[in-house]
Amino acid sequence: MVEQAKRTLAYLCPSCRQSVAVERSIFQLAASANELPCPCGKSSLRVEMMGDRVRLTVPCLFCGKDHSVTCSSHAFLHEKVLAFSCAASGLDCCYVGEEGPVFAALKRLEEAVDKLEAQAGEKGTFLDELVMHEVLSEIKDIAQRGGISCTCGSRNWKLQVNYSSVDLFCADCGGAMRIPAATASDIDDICCKDKLVIHGQA
Percent helix, strand, coil in the chain, to 5, is: 30, 35, 35
| Binding range to Zn ion, per CB under 5 A, among 26-34, 100-108, 131-139, 154-162 | 154-162
Q: Please tell me whether residue 63 binds Zn ion under the rule CB under 5 A.
A: yes
Cα distance between residue 122 and residue 107, in whole Å: 23
Q: How far is CA 157 from CA 135, 162, 170, in A?
A: 17, 16, 4
Q: Site residues for Zn ion, window 64-83 (CB under 5 A)?
A: none
> 167: which strand partners?
160, 178
CA–CA separation, 163 vs 140, rounded Å?
A: 18
**CB contact at 8 A, 125 and 163:** yes
**Residue 54 or 150 having the CB closest to Zn ion:** 150
Per CB under 5 A, does 200 bind Zn ion? yes
Q: Does the footprint of Zn ion cover residue 173 (CB under 5 A)?
A: yes
Q: Is 62 in the site for Zn ion (CB under 5 A)?
A: yes
Binding mask 78-117 for Zn ion (x = CB under 5 A): --------x-x-----------------------------
Is 40 near Zn ion (CB under 5 A)?
yes
Binders of Zn ion among residues 13 to 32 (CB under 5 A) are: 13, 15-16
What is the CA 127 to chain-centroid distance, rounded? 14
In the complex, what is the shortest distance from the CB of residue 89 to Zn ion, in angstroms, rounded to a whole number?
6
Q: Which is nearer to Zn ion, 97 or 200 (CB)?
A: 200
The edge-to-edge listing of strands for the beta sheet with 165-170 is: 157-161, 165-170, 176-180
Which residues of this protein are in contact with Zn ion, per CB under 5 A? Answer: 13, 15-16, 38, 40, 60, 62-63, 86, 88, 150, 152, 154, 170, 172-173, 175, 200
